[in-house]
Structure 1
């Protein structure tokens, strides 16, 4: 498993995780409330500036994380062009790219431990109701950790297909990708069972 945190240390790494997540929520709401192309374009430009401020390494690292969205951008733009509503397509595309880039910026400058600390504080009132917070925190951490791993494996499958065929991979890599994901899940489940799983929480 790999971390989503940036290898480049920035000032934002020292900011409270809760404040960054709250700002992300507020920014996302503002993006979806905006109806002006100029406002959304300015917001996207501002996010690019935030990526560029820590330096070229951080900028390239951040853009590589956002790059996998390009198929969705192509589909959105093509669909709205065919439908004759290009403005709406531009609005949706700018919102999506800017919101994902902001979320990526938060994960790049926040350690997983800090993010899980925020999740723990938010869920703590539910502990009195018998909710297993450890299970929820572990599930959230695994989703964050495994997302880039699965994306990397999906890219490797697509590259392997292209090396053996002139046709696009498309749906043909879905089944092997699912097998890889299930295999990883099985290995993680075995590792959790080997370490006792949540028996300690249930018995306590």
Structure 2
């Protein structure tokens, strides 16, 4: 019988840990982000609520296609706390993704958010790589109206697999989900990661690393 209270306490501790693993629940109606505040907080400081206006909770233009004339053939239009200050503390964000034919959103991760993606137009090949079991690829071809979830922190990608344009809409579980693009992080860091480290990590010579780095 002595084990039972220990089990209950352990379960409660786990639940509490999960409850505090993400952004806390707001303690007021809203906390419009104040970009001028010098306060150092985990997130954005709050504007005086008496100064809140409708435009703090509004963004126009998400119906407009982004410019996909780039090397990847894709563009992301974010809707985070940077675009809508009223999102501050609410733990949600949005993004429109436009793809040229065969355009790619390269492997990347969101350190603070799970992402749920809905295809609005075209067909996408999507996938993510697990950490446990290590490096298992879970992938699928999606069509218009299909939905796919990318777990928080895991590397994932999207590619248009059609000859026409594609569009998707993503919701994320943070007002500031962050993005780490694998290739840019590895080869475009400032200051750069040492050539000898990357050459050994990728099992190539340093001249290859220099060619990769030149792209970023």
| Alignment TM class, shorter chain as reference | under 0.3
Relative to the length of structure 2, the TM-score reads 0.22
- Structure number with the bigger relative contact order (C-alpha 8 A, sep ≥ 6) is 1
